């Protein structure tokens, strides 16, 4: 559970790079959208490996076994939907060959990476919510359900 939790947190923490790297090259909302998506992908390239290693260490030591909550799953899903929707809109804008972009093919690749990141974030968020909703708790042993022998009534 620590692995999934820290993976979700590291995907969300990729947004920390946006204020530092998200400087648009042109004027207009589309250029700003593209710059934010590229900065988000760059931030996730840095934060996801760190979160994955920390999650592996916590999972190997057995600490933090609690199931992630509804809030983390919901926020992760919502952020994934926003990123995927913005990446799809930016992809349509890039396909129209906008002025001000140096190489539309590289831009399409960066937006595709952002779309895949958003889709993966959606899947991770939904899986966190479903695991929490199903009542999965890794600290408990699975209950074996089977047929139990019935007692025969005593005859006097």
Which pLDDT score, from 0 to 100, does residue 95 have?
A: 80
**Is 96 inside a domain boundary?**
yes
Q: Which tens digit of pLDDT belongs to each residue from 9-61? A: 898 898 888 888 877 777 788 888 888 998 999 999 999 999 889 888 888 88
Which pLDDT score, from 0 to 100, does residue 141 have?
A: 47
d(CA 2, CA 54): 9
**Is 153 inside a domain boundary?**
no
**Is 10 inside a domain boundary?**
yes
**Is 144 inside a domain boundary?**
no
Q: Which tens digit of pLDDT belongs to each residue from 116-150? A: 999 999 999 999 888 888 876 665 545 556 565 56
**Is 145 inside a domain boundary?**
no
Residue 62: domain span = 2-133
Q: Which tens digit of pLDDT belongs to each residue from 59-98? A: 888 777 677 788 988 999 999 999 999 999 998 888 876 6
Helix axes 70-95, 29-61, angle to 10 degrees: 140
d(CA 131, CA 65): 13
**Is 147 inside a domain boundary?**
no
Number of domain units in the chain:
1
Sort residue 30 into left (φ over 0), alpha (ψ -120 to 50) or beta.
alpha
Which pLDDT score, from 0 to 100, does residue 75 have?
A: 93
Q: What is the mean pLDDT of residues 100-112?
A: 78
């Amino acid at each position: 559970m620590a692995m999934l939790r820290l993976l979700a947190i590291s995907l969300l923490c990729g947004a920390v790079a946006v204020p530092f790297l998200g400087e648009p090259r042109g004027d207009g909302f589309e250029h700003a959208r593209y710059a934010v998506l590229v900065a988000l992908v760059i931030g996730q390239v840095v934060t996801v490996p760190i979160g994955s290693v920390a999650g592996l260490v916590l999972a190997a030591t057995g600490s933090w076994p609690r199931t992630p909550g509804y809030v983390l799953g919901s926020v992760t899903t919502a952020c994934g939907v926003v990123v995927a929707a913005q990446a799809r809109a930016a992809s349509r804008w890039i396909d129209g060959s906008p002025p001000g972009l140096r190489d539309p093919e590289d831009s399409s690749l960066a937006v595709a990476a952002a779309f895949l990141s958003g889709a993966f974030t959606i899947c991770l968020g939904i899986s966190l919510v479903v695991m929490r909703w199903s009542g999965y708790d890794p600290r408990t042993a699975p209950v074996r359900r089977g047929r139990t022998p019935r007692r025969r009534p005593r005859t006097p």
